[in-house]
Amino acid sequence: MDTHIVERLADYINDGLLKSEMIHAESEHSAISAALGAEAMGVRTFTATASQGLALMHEILFVVSGMRLPVVMAVANRALSAPINIWNDHQDSISERDSGWIQLYVESAQEALDTVIQAYKIAENRKILLPVMVCLDGFTLSHVYEPVDIPEKKEVDKFLPKYNPLFKLDTKKPITMGPIGFPNTYMEFRKETHEAMLNSIEVIKNTNNDFKKSFSRSYGDGLIEIYKIDDADYAVAAMGTVCGTTRVVVDELRKQGRKVGLIKIKSFRPFPKQKIINCCKNLKGIAVIDRNISLGNEGALYTELRSAFYNQKKKPIIKGFIAGLGGRDITLSHIKTAFNKIENSSDIEWLL
Amino acid sequence: MTKPKISVGAVIDEPGSTIKNKTGGWRSFRPIIDHKKCIKCGTCWQFCPDNAINENFEVNYDYCKGCGICANECPVKAIKMVKEEK
């Protein structure tokens, strides 16, 4: 599913448009290990994967973030086996929630491109130094053509100056990377990495603002994007392309006089709790649409949203919906059903 | 154990940091060399994975983890592994 992305990059390299070396690996475990090694040498690195490939990378994802290497990776979100399924849902990257990677979910091909450019600026920020996953819906964004404005190289260079790594492997100044962390230090390293992740909330926001100044495009505040929320009573909260479908439903229901809106969560990690609480404070209810399921509990975004509101005195009703697994279309009527069932008492519901 | 400094990504930018990490406390068996039996062949010195035996065939107990490779390799059985007792 990620193949189109790397195939096109191979074209760019072949045509002399991109000065880069492409490393062919025999597996995703090796591909992310090669990206780690390349990044340790102090060069900008990119890779792309999906589904089982991301699952195979699992072990090394934690090494990349723990070593604070700002790798950027596109994930063309797809379902996990079994049964074998090559279509879209978010189970692959949601399952890597705790890997220490920043996760940004995008709604359009344009946003995917713009977010990759921003991702380097976020990842390489000296206060952050964390890898970033740009999560784009498989097929819907990875295999469908839509017009995209590709910014000029010199404009991108102005926005994203040459990479200047904090540390790199260099025989003239040897360092040790990835050493053992004994019980007397491991926790401190984890805490530092967690704090870097929290600091990235501000950096993601600022990067979105800077991008707007340079390219006249922006995506909400970079962390969340709200649509017709100001006077809304009810809203859908979701990630990725389903937000596009939801905008259509919101417009339709608004024509019927219903006060509804959309909260698009772009940044799942870090989770911008306070920003979500602030924009939802006047809402009566939220329908969370999850394209994933934590089997035996509920959808991940639903869990996180409810947890964010737990200590708030005034909180909206929050209802969870599981939809669009394994490439099942999420239709306009699914989203209307979600809006209509917010006040229902049951916990989660499947939009089959 | 003193607290080592916390660097970004646990990068160590000065060589020799392993010296600070005394691993003798991991040991449950201590190698005792019988210097009367020892033929000074150097096998233990060569095999020790922690470089904890010096050229005079003395054990540095600050770093010896008690793996017993020296005792196993000694051709004249001059090294005995004795249980550490507190």
Regions in chain A scoring below 70 on pLDDT: 1-2, 345
Residue B85 pLDDT: 84
DSSP per position, A238-263: E-TTHHHHHHHHHHHHHHTT--EEEE
- Inter-chain residue contact A167 with B17, CB threshold 8 Å: no
Regions in chain B scoring below 70 on pLDDT: 1-4, 86
Q: Which amino acid is at B40?
A: K
Residue A138 pLDDT: 96
A174: nearest CA partner in chain B: B13
Residue to test with chain A: of B3, B7, B11, most A Cβ within 10 A: B11
Domains of chain A: 3-215 (3.40.50.970), 224-351 (3.40.50.920)
How distant, in Å, are the alpha carbons of A224, A291, A322, B2, B76 from that of A276?
A: 8, 19, 20, 42, 73
Residue B4 pLDDT: 64
Residue A1 pLDDT: 47
- Inter-chain residue contact B12 with A175, CB threshold 8 Å: yes
DSSP per position, B28-55: SEEEEE-TTT-----HHHHH-TT--B-T
CA B65 to chain centre: 5
Q: How far apart are CA A223 and CA A76, in angstroms?
A: 19
How distant, in Å, are the alpha carbons of A20, A55, A109, A119, A266 from that of A159?
A: 19, 33, 20, 12, 21
Residue B1 pLDDT: 52
Q: How far apart are CA A286 and CA A107, in angstroms?
A: 20
Tell me A24's DSSP state: P
Domains of chain B: 23-83 (3.30.70.20)
Residue B16 pLDDT: 85
Q: Which residues of chain A are within 8 Å of residue B10 when distances are taken between CB atoms? A: 66-67, 177-179, 181, 185, 189
> What residues of chain A have any CB closer than 8 angstroms to a CB in chain B?
66-69, 129, 166-167, 173-179, 181-182, 184-185, 188-189, 192
Average pLDDT, chain B: 93
